[in-house]
Amino acid sequence: MSLVVVGVALVAVLNTVGAARMGLKRIGDRSRAVLLAQDLMTEILQQAYEDPSLPVGSFGLEADEVGTGTRALWDDVDDYHGWQSAPPRDKSGNPLTGFERWRRHVAVGWVQPANPVSTTIGDSRVKRITVTVSRDGVVLAVLQSLKGGAQTVTMLNGSPTLMTDLTAAVFTPVTGSTLKLAKGLTGR
pLDDT of 114 reads 83
- In this prediction, residue 169 carries a pLDDT of 47
Q: What is the pLDDT of residues 33-77, one digit of tens each?
A: 999 999 999 999 889 888 878 888 888 888 888 887 889 899 899
pLDDT score of 145 = 87
Residues 4-17, mean pLDDT to the nearest whole number: 67
Predicted pLDDT at 84: 94
Res 157 pLDDT > 50? no
SS (H, E, C) the chain: CHHHHHHHHHHHHHHHHHHHHHHHHHHHHHHHHHHHHHHHHHHHHCCECCCCCCCCCCCCCCHHHCCCCCCCCCCEHHHHCCCEECCCECCCCCECCCCCCEEEEEEEEEEECCEEEEECCCCCCEEEEEEEEEECCEEEEEEEEEEECCCCEEEECCEEEEHHHCCEEEEEECCCCCEECHHHCEEC
Mean pLDDT of 100-106: 96
- Rounded to the nearest integer, the mean pLDDT of the chain is 76
Percent of the chain exceeding pLDDT 90 equals: 34
- pLDDT of 98 > 80? The answer is yes
Q: In which band, very low, low, confident or very high, does the pLDDT at 159 lie, cut at 50, 70 and 90?
A: very low
- Is pLDDT at 183 greater than 50 in this prediction? no
CA gap 49, 30 in Å, rounded: 29
Domain limits, the chain: 2-187
Residue 19 clears pLDDT 70, i.e. is over it: no
Highest mean pLDDT among 14-18, 35-39, 51-55, 150-154: 35-39
